[in-house]
Amino acid sequence: MDERKLLYITSWDFTHPEADGVCKKIIGQIKAFRKAGFYVDYTFIRNGNTYILRDDKEICLGSNHHLSQYGALRLISIYVKKHNDYRNVYIRYSSSDVFFVKIVKTLHENKAVSIVE
């Protein structure tokens, strides 16, 4: 497991104009992590689908349907369980629900260092 590999988890929809300020902050944080020497993969929502940008390749994790953030977090949770190669995780999520708890539990089991904003 690479000590410099970081997963930035967010379920913000990058296509909604009202989220523009938040998206700029997220992109700024990702740039700061990269400047600090981390290899950063990150999740996001676009047009009702959840994606991860992993190794500079966009991977669609699936459709959120009508569940938006909850659906996204469910898909991200499944992904994290299968790909447990992240040593560092930064989570930007606004509430606590069953999918959030599952991700945190999986990360803890994988001995990842997690920071929640």
For 75-108, write each residue's pLDDT tens digit. 888 888 888 788 898 988 766 777 788 888 888 8
Residue 9, phi then psi, degrees to nearest 5: -100, 120
End-to-end CA distance of the chain: 24
For 10-40, write each residue's pLDDT tens digit. 877 777 766 678 888 888 999 999 999 999 9
Measure the CA angle with vertex 30, ends 27 and 32; round to 5°: 110
Q: What is the spatial order of strands in the sheet that 39-46 belongs to?
A: 57-63, 49-54, 39-46, 5-10, 88-92, 113-116
The Cα–Cα gap between 116 and 93 comes to 7
Question: What pLDDT is recorded for position 99?
Answer: 75
Q: Is the pLDDT of residue 48 over 90?
A: no
